[in-house]
Chain A
Amino acid sequence: MLIYFFKRLLHGIPVLFVVSTITFVIMRVVPGGPFDQEKKLPPEILVNIQAKYHLDQPVTTQYLLYLKQLVQGDMGPSYKYIGRDVADIILDTFPVSITLGVLAMLVVMGVGIPMGVWSAYRQNSVIDRICMFYATLGISIPSFVLGTVLVWLMSHKLQWLPPALWEGPRHMILPAIALGAPFSGYIARLTRSAVLEVLSSDYIRTARAKGLTESVILFKHTLKNSIFPIISVLGPLTAGLVTGSFVIEFIFSIPGMGSFFITAVTNRDYPLIMGVTLIYAVLIVLANILVDIIYMWLDPRVRV
């Protein structure tokens, strides 16, 4: 198992390399740079700045320099937040983004799975219809629409919860719902079809024939076996939550990595863009590895 884990980690490295190369190339092929401002800098100062950040070197040299730095664990200085390292900024903002992500994941699973199980168990009933209607709504509602509706209703009209910022548990409720709820519809659908499939299998019929109670059948035999499709989408789901957090952080003015990425991109703050992109990529790669390992751990059939 440990060997498998390290093998997967090694496989992740080329992916990260490609991500960083593509990001680097995209940033440099287009005209314009981080220090082209409305108010032109005097040429001699510009030359100095560019020399300091090695921007006067050929692009390939710049990239090699960057990689060398990166391997040593240094993500470079930010061009726009003078005096701050990219690593500093990421250390400050990463915990915020990850908290939001985890809370949203709780919403996704906490709403999606029970709903899916319930509607499968009462297939074709009114409850099933309501749950599946919710699922279709969830898939179709953009998180920014849900976010704005929540802010308008809960913060401006009812004044129950704060509309923005990140200062305590009360500030986390709306963003977590706005980010998580749209995905919970998808999970509800997935759970429903998985549970339905298990419920129609032979061993459930056997369990019924043995005279087991419905709750034992549902919770012990069915749920355990229908968890696999849900685990296998955890990877893409993590990616979805990560990318979805941009817009949520924007709406609720949350000081997370997403908001910094957006400003970094508009400012052409090259090292910051690279740093945040790489962190997100690492997160997604790790999530995928983790999912595979959980899968192997739970299902003896895929263990090799």
Chain B
Amino acid sequence: MSFFSKLSFGFLGVVFFSAIFAPWITPYSYETQDTLNTLATPTFSHLMGTDRLGRDLFSRLIYGARVSLFIGILTTLLALVIGTIYGSISGYIGGRIDGFMMRVVDVIFALPDMLMIILVTVMMGRGIAGMFIALTLVSWVTVARLVRGEVLRIKEKTYVEAARALGASSPRILMQEILPNILGLVVVTLTFRIPVAILAESTLSFIGLGVAPPFSSWGTMANEGWKSIKFYPHLILFPSLAIFFTILSFNFLGDRLRDGLDPRNKTRFS
């Protein structure tokens, strides 16, 4: 593993750890107000300073990681499960059913995705649930397309033919022969889709349409910081850095994973 891979891995590890154990490692609760120290710059008692209401930025950042990661990872997982099931059935059955199923995917794919995410989230009442549905809705189709392509390729392989000749049923072939072979693709897709989802969530929250109080994600924190960027840039600096490094780490690991799983690229990176 290269230096940057280790760094990315370590960074994500720290983010995950602090998100999970947030209540035990944060110095303050995310809503405790230190009214004597509002808008303070970073000090020892407040590592990243405080916001307009005197809330500790460091603690809020760690709690924000929970919301950002939760939405990013769970929507991606859900989209992956739906997309894999849909795509593999469509690809395996083929013919007219496949044609119809892919038409549906094409139409959803043609929707302007951010527009739909905004629309669904706001209409559902600006909660985590709305955003969850919206993000899953637009992202499963990408997975479905990828998986279908792979299934189409693999189902022509001789070992699938052998399994069929031995009398294996279709579900068995799909589960035992085909799915294990597209697992690599699925894992790589996972690492590439998580940052996309985190980005979408934070962007939406940043323009004030995403996660609503009392919850706060990195995006909502950046939104709060944006209002006072001229005089208190630290308010937006830390959440932005958190988003940036998290997405960077995921992308970096995704790159390496893809190169590692693709034998054609082996020579370049080993």
Chain A stretch 248-304: residues in CB contact (< 8 A) with chain B: 250-251, 261-262, 265-266, 273, 276-277, 280-281, 284-285
Q: Does B150 contact A (CB under 8 A)?
A: no
Q: Which of A140, A148, A239, A266 interacts with B236 by CB under 8 Å?
A: A148
Instruction: Give Cα A18–Cα B124 distance, bound, in whole angstroms.
Output: 21
For residue A100, give the distance in angstroms from its CB to the closest CB of chain B: 15
The answer on a CB contact under 8 Å between A27 and B203 is no
The answer on a CB contact under 8 Å between B226 and A148 is yes
Q: Which of A140, A144, A285 interacts with B247 by CB under 8 Å?
A: A140
The answer on a CB contact under 8 Å between B107 and A18 is yes
Q: Does B259 contact A (CB under 8 A)?
A: no
Interface string of B104-116 (1 = CB under 8 A from A): 0001001111111
Chain A residues with CB under 8 A of B118: 246, 261-262, 265
Q: Does A198 contact B (CB under 8 A)?
A: no
Chain B residues with CB under 8 A of A26: 116, 119-120, 123
Q: What class of interface size applies to chain A in its complex with B?
A: 35 or more
Do A145 and B244 contact each other (CB < 8 Å), given the known contacts A19-B110, A284-B112? yes
Chain B stretch 85-109: residues in CB contact (< 8 A) with chain A: 107
Do A152 and B203 contact each other (CB < 8 Å), given the known contacts A243-B113, A265-B209? no
Instruction: Give Cα A148–Cα B209 distance, bound, in whole angstroms.
Output: 18
Number of interface residues of B (CB under 8 A): 36
Chain B residues with CB under 8 A of A265: 118-119, 122-123, 209
Instruction: Give Cα A284–Cα B110 distance, bound, in whole angstroms.
Output: 8
Instruction: Give Cα A261–Cα B204 distance, bound, in whole angstroms.
Output: 13
Instruction: Give Cα A8–Cα B38 distance, bound, in whole angstroms.
Output: 59
For residue A30, give the distance in angstroms from its CB to the closest CB of chain B: 4
For residue A153, give the distance in angstroms from its CB to the closest CB of chain B: 10
Instruction: Give Cα A139–Cα B199 distance, bound, in whole angstroms.
Output: 11
Q: Does B233 contact A (CB under 8 A)?
A: yes
The answer on a CB contact under 8 Å between B112 and A277 is yes
Do A266 and B120 contact each other (CB < 8 Å), given the known contacts A15-B110, A239-B112? no
Chain B residues with CB under 8 A of A15: 107, 110
Chain B stretch 108-142: residues in CB contact (< 8 A) with chain A: 110-116, 118-120, 122-125
Instruction: Give Cα A23–Cα B111 distance, bound, in whole angstroms.
Output: 10
Chain B residues with CB under 8 A of A243: 112-115
Instruction: Give Cα A245–Cα B247 distance, bound, in whole angstroms.
Output: 20
Q: Which of B111, B207, B236, B247 interacts with A281 by CB under 8 Å?
A: B111
Q: Would you mind naming 19 contact pairs between A and B with Cβ atoms under 8 Å apart?
A: A18-B110, A19-B110, A19-B112, A22-B116, A26-B119, A26-B123, A30-B124, A136-B255, A140-B247, A141-B247, A142-B244, A145-B244, A148-B236, A239-B112, A247-B206, A261-B118, A265-B123, A281-B110, A285-B110
